[in-house]
Amino acid sequence: MKYMMMMNVPGGPYRITDWPREAFQAHIAFMQRFAQKLSAAGELVGAEGLSGPDQAKLVRAGDKGQPVTDGVFPESKEFLAGFWIIDVEGPERAYALAAEVSAAPGPNGKPLNMGIEVRPVMSGPPPAENL
Amino acid sequence: MTGTELTAADQRLLRDQAPGVLAAVLRRYRDFAAAEDAVQEALLAAAQQWPRYGRPDDPRAWLIRVASRRWADEQRAAVARRRREELVAEIQDEPAPPPPTERDETLTLLFMCCHPALSPSSQVALTLRAVGGLTTAEIAKAFLVPEATMAQRISRAKATIQSSGVPFELPSPGETAARLGPVLHVAYLVFNEGYTASAGPELQRRDLAAEALRLARMLRRLLPDEAEVAGLLALMLLTDARRAARTGANGQLIPLDEQDRATWDRAEIEEGVALLGATLPRGQVGPYQLQAAIAAVHDEAPTAQATDWPQILALYTVLARLGDNPMVALNQAIALAMVEGPAAGLLRLKELERDPRLRDHHRLDAVRAHLLERAGDHAGAVASYARAAGHTASLPERNYLLDRALRLTPPRPSPFRGEGT
C-alpha cells in the first residue's frame, strides 16, 4: 500500500530562521536520517520539500484561459512544507513512520510533534471478485 | 544473428533457466545473497551478449559458468579485502557442479524466497527476481516504485534469509503442505497485482499477471499431485479469462453482470475448467479449488441471468467452513441474496456488521448499496454507495461507486447542452 505523509506546519513566514543554529542543524540531520532509513528499508517512493509560503502563488484560469495569479497567503493556518510517498505493508506501518517524523526536534531540541497527514494513495482497480 | 535486444524466445528461455541456474550456483557456494547477485549479473550479461554473438549451444551451462565466474570475482575481491586467500584457492579447485535435480532445486528456491520470516511484499519481490528471473528494474516498474527502493527491498530480504540460517534444502514431506501456503499466496499476490492494472503503466502490470501464470504453471509441473496448486492455476486462468471485459474504453470498471461475455477468453476458460474437472474429484478440496469452482460457474453461464446462484451459494458455504474469512462471508451474503432475494442478504449483512474487520470496510457498504438498490430503497442505496466510495483506495472503483449512486438520484437538467438525460 502506498501512502502520502504530508508535513503540515503553521502558516506565516518561515519561522525556522528564528531557531538557534544547533537546533536547526539537529532538525535537518533528523530529517536526513529519516529519509535514509526509509530508503534503506525499501519503503521510499519519493519525497520532496517545498519552498516557503512566500513563494506560493494561487493560480486560476482567466476568461481567456490565461493564468491569473493571486496570493501570497502568509496568514493561512496550515501550510504544506513537504511530503513523503511511501510503500509499506499496511496503515499501521504508515502511522508509525508518521509518528516518528512528527517528533522531529524543534527550536529547543524537544520534539515538535507536528501534525503529519497520512492518506492512502489511490490505486488501480480492485482484485476481481466473483460477485 | 546480430541485434541489440533479446528475442522473445531467448527472453523466455532466460527466465525459465533462472531458478535452475541459481539453484546450481547456490548448491555449490551456499551463499544465497551472493549467488543470487551473481545469477542476476549472468542474466544481464546474457541479455547484452546473446543478441550480438548468438545464443550459446548450452545456455544453462553458459549461465552457470558466467554466474560462477562473477561469484568468484566478487569473492576474490571480498577475500582480498579480508585477506583470506586460502578460500579462493579452495573455490578454484572445486570440480564442476554435479548435474542438479532441477525439480527439487527450483522448489527449494521457491520455499526459500517465500520464507515466513519475510513480509509478503519482500517474498513477492524476491520470488520474481530469484525464481522468475526478472530484473530489479522490471520488478520496480511493475510495482510503481523507484528501482533503488526495490533493490533495497530485495537486498534486505536476502539479508533476512541469510541471518535466519534457513538451510538450502527441501522441507520434509510432512512440512511441504504447510510451507506451500505462502508460496501459493505469493503467486496469487503477483497475479492480483497484475490483474489490477491501472490505466497508465498497464502493459507492465499485465506482464505481472503473465508472470504469475508462469509461476503457477511451473509449480504445477513441480508438484503435479498437489490439488491446491492445480486449484490456484485454474483460479488464475478462469479469472484472467474475463480481464478484457472488465474495464471499458476509459478504464471504467464493468461489473460481472454487465460484461460482454463474448470477449471472455474461451481457451483460458476451457483449460481452467478441464484442470478443475480433473482435480476436484480427488477429494483434497481447498480454498483455491473452491474459488476456482465459483469462477467456473460464472464463466460457464451464457448470460448473467443464467448464472447458477444456488451452486455458487453452496460453494461459498463450503468455503466459509474452511476458514474464518470476512470477505468470504460477505460474498456468501451476496449469493444468498441472489438465491433468496435482497431482504435475506440484507439480514445477513446485519450480522456481518458486528465483525470489526468488516464494519468500516468499503466492500460491506458496496454490497449493502447493491442490495438496497435491488430492494428498491434508492435513498438508502445512494447513502451506502457514497460511504463505500469514500472508503475505497481504488480510483476506478470509487468512480464506479459514485456513478452507481448518481444513476439512482432523480434526473436534473444537465449543464452540458445537448447531452442532457
Q: Provide long-range contacts, Cβ within 8 A and 24+ apart, for B232-235.
A: B232/B184, B232/B187, B232/B188, B232/B288, B232/B292, B233/B272, B233/B275, B234/B272, B234/B273, B234/B275, B234/B276, B234/B279, B234/B288, B234/B289, B234/B292, B234/B295, B234/B296, B235/B188, B235/B272, B235/B288, B235/B289, B235/B291, B235/B292, B235/B295
Q: Where are the domains of chain A?
A: 20-77+88-114
Q: Which residues of A touch B393 (CB under 8 A)?
A: 1, 120-123
What integer pLDDT is reported at residue A9 of this predicted model?
Answer: 82
Q: Where are the domains of chain B?
A: 8-100, 102-170+177-237
pTM value? 0.81
As for the ipTM of the complex, it is 0.71
Question: Which of the residues A89, A121, A130 would you substitute to probe the B interface, choosing the one with the greatest number of B C-beta atoms within 10 Å?
Answer: A130
A87:B121 CB<8 A: yes
Q: The C-alpha cell of B345 is what?
A: 442478504
Residues in A whose CB is inside 8 Å of some CB of B read 1-2, 39-46, 87, 89, 120-131
Q: How far apart are CA B221 and CA B91, in angstroms?
A: 34
What is the DSSP code (8-state) at residue B258?
G
Residue B300: how many other CB atoms lie within 10 Å: 13
CB A127 within 8 A of CB B191: no
> Nearest CA of chain B to the CA of A48: how many Å?
14
> Nearest CA of chain A to the CA of B338: how many Å?
10
What integer pLDDT is reported at residue B416 of this predicted model?
Answer: 65
- CB-based contact (8 Å) between B253 and chain A? yes
- Determine the Cα angle at A52 with ends A50 and A54, to 5°: 135
> Nearest CA of chain B to the CA of A36: how many Å?
11
Q: For A124, name the nearest residue in chain B, comparing CA atoms only.
A: B198
Note the pLDDT tens digit of each residue in A76-99. 678 888 999 999 988 999 999 999
Note the pLDDT tens digit of each residue in A14-69. 577 788 888 888 998 999 899 989 988 899 999 998 887 777 888 888 888 888 88
What integer pLDDT is reported at residue B308 of this predicted model?
Answer: 97
B195:A43 CB<8 A: no
CB B287 within 8 A of CB B306: no
The single-letter code of the amino acid at B278 is A
Residue with cell 564442476: B96
3-class DSSP assignment, residue A75: coil
A123:B154 CB<8 A: no
Q: Which of B145, B148, B255 sits opposite A131 (nearest CB)?
A: B255
What is the DSSP code (8-state) at residue A15?
G
In tens digits, chain B (421 residues) has pLDDT values of: 456 788 888 988 998 889 889 988 888 877 888 889 999 999 999 998 898 888 899 999 999 999 988 888 887 777 776 655 555 444 444 544 445 577 788 888 889 899 888 998 899 999 999 998 888 988 888 888 899 999 999 999 999 988 888 777 778 877 877 789 989 999 998 898 877 654 444 545 668 888 899 999 999 998 999 999 999 999 999 999 998 898 887 778 889 999 999 999 999 999 999 999 999 998 889 999 999 999 999 999 999 999 999 999 999 999 999 988 899 999 999 999 999 999 999 999 999 999 988 988 899 999 999 999 999 999 999 999 999 998 888 888 888 999 899 988 877 666 665 544 4
